[in-house]
Each structure stands twice: as structure tokens, then as C-alpha cells.
Structure 1
Amino acid sequence: MELTHRFVATNGIRMHVAEQGDGSPVIFCHGFPHTWFIWHRQLAAVAGAGYRAIAPDLRGYGRTEAPAEQEAYTNQAVIGDLLGLLDDIGAEQAVFVGLDFGAALVWELALRAPERVRGIIVLNNPFAPRPPRAPSQLWAKAAQRHFLHLDYFQKPGPADAELGADPRAFLARVYFSLSADYHYLDTWRFPPEGTGYLDVLPEAPPLPWNWLSDDELDVLAGDFEQTGFTGGLNWYRALDRNWELTADFADATVTPPTYFLYGDRDPDMEGFSGRDPLATLRANVPNLRRVTKIDGAGHLVQLERSTEVNDLITAHLRELVPVPVAESTIRS
């Protein structure tokens, strides 16, 4: 079950994927600012449970191509990449796992191509219906009162340069701020005028932390030192276009079987997902099989509570795609 790397030609781009194990495919979708490596602990666990674990660098990240135009970073475009990946491995369906932007991607994939989705497992970012107005309008209004990264990232240039000046230092600060060890919404205390993202993020304590090592951060930072952050930031700049492209799904519900898990200190659940995100989730995902709260975890729950998350993911996979007894016996 060696971890391997390869490139896939899909939907007009060259996509890098990391793979481990054999069996039914499970595709992991990362967010910002991440790469495939954010899932490396889960790949080993899922492969060990009898599945083919696949983690791509999504377009704009890592060793996958980064188109120049912002239009290229819509969910619709990236869904095309994932469907091409399914075709490449000869699979009609896969289980998709998503976090952050990867969660939004998986939710939309389940709306656009439910026939290709065996099931979904989402971490921290619950499904929410299409808002009545373009997202940037909502963020601009909030940004009149306090700094908001969602608004700050909309304009090309300033954030790209700021974050790219020292990728490793930025990653340490943003990962720490999103964890259970800090309260991310404290970044809202800062005024919007003349404020950059690094101005609002706390200084990170020296590594290693109890959930992230120096070597792991080096791997993540190494990719961004090569690419910068513009590819990832373009996902933010495409969110209004996503809104336009999902008009036909305004009243749609997510039909594939779904599992949701979240950290009890996740900032998206607290401040970015509405007043009652779990009620909204249950109302719009009729085949929601289980919701699990993980105590003492923040946004990067799969790193902060790896063992618990791995156990949950593998248990959910066994319900979705049972591993043959003979195969599971051999692996154990």
C-alpha cells in the first residue's frame, strides 16, 4: 500500500494526484490554503481499511496546473476535473470527502452529477442553500464594520503579495488561528481600512504542535513557496460566478447518502454557516445518515483529531461500500 504520485490529463489541465491502496475509490478534496498533503494521514488509514484513497491537488494548487483566468476556478470547472479523474481510473462512482472549499465542491458535485457519487463525507462546512444575493455583496457589507478576509481576497494583488512573501510563516499563523487553540472570529475585532490578513492573525507558537509537526508544515509550505497563493485565492474570486452558475439548483437538495462531522470549535460552524447550520443541513440533505461533533477540534479537524476522524471515515465507508470479508481479513 505504498503512496504513489502521478499526473492525470483531465478537463484540459494536468492534475497531480496522490494515491494509496486498492479497492473502491475514495476521493479527498482539500480547501485553502491546503494541498493534497492535508489528507496524508487519512490516505493511509483509508487504504489500510481496503479502499483506494486518492487525493488530488485541485486546480491552482501544488503540482496541478493553475490557469491564469479567474473564470477557470468555478466549482463547475473543478467538478469537470474530478469527473475526468473518475473516468481515468475507470470508476463510475466514488465516495467524496471534502473540507473547506473542498466541501463546497463536493456539495455542488452531488447536485450536478449525483449518479457519479456513491456517498459523501463532509468535514466542518455544512450544506447551505443558494443565497438570494451574490456572496461578494454580503461580504462587502460586513467588511464595512470589520476586517473580513472574504472581502479582502476579492481584489487581485494585495493578498497575493502579502501571503506569498513568507508562505511558511503565513501557513503557521492561519492554521493555528483556525484550530481549537485559538478563536478565529477574534480577527473580526480589527478595522477594515488599511488592514491586511497578517495584521489580524495571531502569532503562531513554535512547532511542533500536538497536532502538526515541523516536517508536515515544511511539506505544505514547500508547495506554496513554488506556486504562491494566487491559484487558491482565485477560488474566492470565483465565488460570485459559482453563485451565477447555480441558479438552476436554488431549490435542490443533496440526495446521495451523506455523513457530516465537525469540530466543536470550528470557526465556519460558528460564524460563516448561518444561525443554525445543523438544522439547515438536515432540511436540505434528506439522506443525511449521521452527524458527529468532535470535541476539542477546530477547522483542520482531520489533523487535530486524526485518530477519531480516521475511525469515523472508515466506519462510514464500510456502510457505503462494504469491503469483502476475504479482502478485509487479508488486510487485517
Structure 2
Amino acid sequence: MEPDARRPTDPWIAALARLYDQQLRGQVASYSNMYGGRSRSAAHLDEFFFRLVEIAEPARFVEIGAYKAEASRRARRTLPRARVVAFEANPHNHARYRGEIADDVPIEYLHMAVADGPTELTFHLRREVAGEQLREVTGNSSLLLRTAEDTTYEKVAVPATSLDAFFADELTVPTCAWVDVEGASGAVLGGGAGFFRSCTVVKIEVEEKPIWRGQWLSLDVLEHFLAEGFQPIARDIEYENQFNVVFARNDFARDPRVLAAAEYQGNYMTHHLHADIDDVDGTWSDGATQQPSAGADQPSAGANQPSVGAARPPAAGEQPPASGRGRLSGLRRRLSGGR
């Protein structure tokens, strides 16, 4: 399975995708790539996405490329009556987390790759990069091979399905979806035309620079969703060249509650984002550190976080913002229309 890097599209759709791309870049310009700004941008986008999920109240939530199934666990608590399905292709991840997930919340956590049709595929587990050994339990291996030539793989045959095949008898069930498949989005989207027509909101990881061979890039994904009746309404800057985009179906995007949530999100990013940090050591206003935890997955090669950026260093004698103003709980209240 190696989809074409480019998909044919209408030139007007391509132009609209470029326009949306520039608009989204302007939307996230408030985030710094210093002091944990990238990770905060991802956390804020997650809050916005789940606010839209609350508004949509889907009967089904599907996570593709689940790893620890953290999005599915949150969805289960947000949507107690919905069916929650999480697909994970890496057999080591599935073996590591299936028991923990079963003890935590009742979701369908499946060892299965999602692509465009085959019932078995080769999963490329990264074992060594430039002579450095890598762990088996990781969120950054893929069905696709890396563009870099310094990677050694363990090739594992894994069961596979397409979304249209797996949900063949339930293609009209209202759904929200989370897609994080390390470059294989083209195959997921290609095998899920009917499935995605049932979706109200989709969050998907994209790359604007090739990291995997034959992958769709961010503009390809934008073009696809625009052609299918979605519009991109928010993104983050989680990594350089690799980020997440939230798409909403056109009719849902006009819902006044969605418009209000988008307005609160934009207002927060424009006027209150500076209050996320109490001081320059990169801590949240509630004291939580912004440094990655020990053993946390590093960004994909080609998606590095620069060590310097556009953040304004605090002036001499400048006081930090009042504690608590920038907490995620404050953002949640704003997205819900609270004060």
C-alpha cells in the first residue's frame, strides 16, 4: 500500500485549499514555538475539537491510529451512549495497552490497520535510526516507509480493513473521527468515502513536507475534504511541518454553537494566550510543566521543533500574568460560552 503523493483535483478546489491554508496559518500565528507553545497549541486544539464533539453528540466516535486510545477514552466519557471504536496497527502498542484500556473504559480497541481495501498489510515498525535502537511501543511507525534512508524496519503482517468495509452496514450513523496514521491518510480517506460522509467533525494529522514515501501532504488532505463537503476551521502547530487540522461538515459549521465556539477559540488565541505561562520556565499557570515526560514519543523526523522562535522574551521587571487566567479549564469555559 503506497498511495500516490498527489491526487487529481479541480483547480478551483486546489486554489480554495491554498486560501484556507493561509487563513489557518494566520489563525495560529499567536502561538510561540518557544516555551512549550507548540504543545499548548495541540492541547488547545484538542479542547476545541472535543467541544465540537459535545455539540455534535454523535452516535459513534472512531479513532484511527489510536496508540494509547487517549482520544477514545475521552470520547467515551464525553459520549456515554455512543459506540467508540479505536484502531491500532502496531501489535506491540495493542498488546501493551489493551488490558489497561479494558480496565479503564469500555471501548472497542482493535488491532487492525485502516487503509483502502486489503485485508492484510505490512506494518513498518522502526527498529533503528542512524544506528540508534528504538523501542517497540511507539506512536510513530507506519504502514509507509520513511523518506530517510537511515531507518531499519521490522516488517510485520497485520490485519487490515477499510472504513467503508468495516462499517458497511452502518455508513449513515452520525460520527466524529480522529485520524493519526503517520502519513497514511491517503489510504484511510480513499477507503472511507461512505464513512466520512457520516462524519460531522474530523481531526486529522497532516504533514506539509514528505516524511513518508508516497504520502498525501497537507494540501492534498485539504483538497480532499473540501471536495467532500467539509471546511477546515482550526489547526495547531504541534511540530514543524507536521500539525493537526479540524474539519467540520459545511452544514454543521454554520451551527450557531459551532460559530460561537470558533469565536471563543479565536478570541482566546488573540487576547489571552499570553496568560498560559506564569514565567519563562515553561510552566502552566496551574504549575504543570510543559516539558515532555520521560520516554515520550519524539516528533517524526522532518517535523522538528526549533529551539528558537518568535516569542517575545519578557522585559526586565515584567510581572507574569495572574495565576489561573490561562488554564485549559478557562479555555473550556470560553468554548462552552461561559465567562
Same fold (TM over 0.5): no
TM-score between both structures, scaled by the size of structure 1: 0.28
* Greater strand proportion: 2
Work out which of the two has the higher radius of gyration on C-alpha atoms and give 1 or 2.
Answer: 2
TM-score normalised to the size of structure 2? 0.28
- The structure whose residues are more often helix, as a share, is 1
